[in-house]
Every structure is written in structure tokens, then in C-alpha cells.
Amino acid sequence: MAIADSAQLEARLGHTWRNRELLNQALTHRSFGARNNERLEFLGDGVLNCVIGLLLYQRFPGQPEGRLSRLRANLVNQDTLHAIAAGLDLGRHLRLGEGELKSGGAQRPSILADALESLLGAAFLDGGFDAARGIVEGLFGARVDAINPEQQGKDAKTRLQEWLQPRRLGLPEYVLTQTAGQAHVQVFHVECRVCAGANNAKVVTSGHGPNRKTAEQMAAEAALIELEKL
């Protein structure tokens, strides 16, 4: 992929790289060459944990350390990172070796999650902590705002159902819309459809994952975020 093709991705992230080589490296998988994104991923993981920890510390001043740690673990994991990376269409920006590309690497959750962390590491080196923090806040802010610490430990589908029931709204419908990739690296695409509001408006969100269960959980999490905006 040519660096010039990254403009849309940079716009979505809210950061334009001054050092283009850092961006190029962040988008390079180890299957493509020796100068790849593994070291940047290591750095980005630390930056992400730091920024999410700071956001949670500020958002929930009354919560103890143990609960804040669990909240962070629920946000900083492969499923969430993959969902965000898929939403950015990050796979089409990655530089992969021929074998990895043919085997569906551009849609593999682990590769997408690692690449997103690599971008955070590259942004930190390029623009400092404030640049990396801005990206994290843009990508995770709605998820942090949607957290209810009292429901910690409940999965997204359960929390969505509990949100709908007291409002006398119907149960969500989960629809498998697509299965892509080869058998050993399939990606499942699911829509969560919820009828909400006085005019019975329909909220439709999507999720992607290596199995249907994970995709449904991602779609449910996205639905919760959208419903909270109504």
C-alpha cells in the first residue's frame, strides 16, 4: 500500500503523521518484512493502557482500584480492538506478505488488533502523549461514557436486554449477514436490530468476529452506545 492512500485513515484517527515512515511501519505486518510493527505494538499497548486508565480514573472518581482494573480489562482486549479496527477498515491499509494476504490476514482479529496498537505507538512517537491520547479518546470515548460500573461483569447482550426491558421495548434481533474468509480464518458479520423510540425507530448496529458469539456481543455493545444517544 502506498503511504498516500492513508489520508482517509488519518482523518478518522484525527492525527496526520509528520514522520511518514512511522505510519508506514505501523501498517506493516511481520510477514511483509523485517521492519514491521511489532515493536510499535509493544509501545502502543502501554500507551493504550495508560490513556484508558486515565479516562476511567477521571470518569469514575468513586470507584476502587480493583474495579477500575476490571473496567480497563473489559475495554483493552482483542475483541474490542478488533471491532474498532474493523470499523476503521484498517485491514485494507495493512501491508501483508503474500501468504498472509491470501489466507485472510487482513481480516484476522489478532492482526487488526495488533495493528491498531501499533498505530497508537507510532502516534506517540510522532506527536507525543497528547496525540496518542486524542486518538484513544476518539476511538474509546463513547465506550467509556457508556460504562455502568454496577453492571461490571455482565456481557453486552445481557446489558442490552436489561436496558430494553424496563423501557418495555422488544428484545433485540441478531442476524448473521455475512461469513467471509477461509474456513480456518472466518470472520462473521452480525447485525443487532432494536426497535426503540416513540415512533418505533429501528437501531441497527453491526459486529464482526472470529465466531458468531463474539460478533453478536460487539453488535450489542454498539447498540447500547447508540441507544444511550437517543
Query: Which amino acids are annotated catalytic?
Result: 45, 117
What is each CA distance from 31 to 36, 98, 188, in whole angstroms?
A: 8, 8, 24
Asked whether the beta carbons of 9 and 88 are under 8 A apart, the reply is yes
Where would I find the H helices in the chain?
7-13, 20-26, 38-59, 65-75, 78-87, 98-102, 109-145, 156-164, 212-229
The Cα 179–Cα 95 span in angstroms is 23
Buried b (16+ CB within 10 A) or exposed e, 131-150: bbbbbbbebbeebbebbeee
Query: DSSP code of 195?
Result: E
Which contiguous run of DSSP H or E holds residue 177? strand 173-180
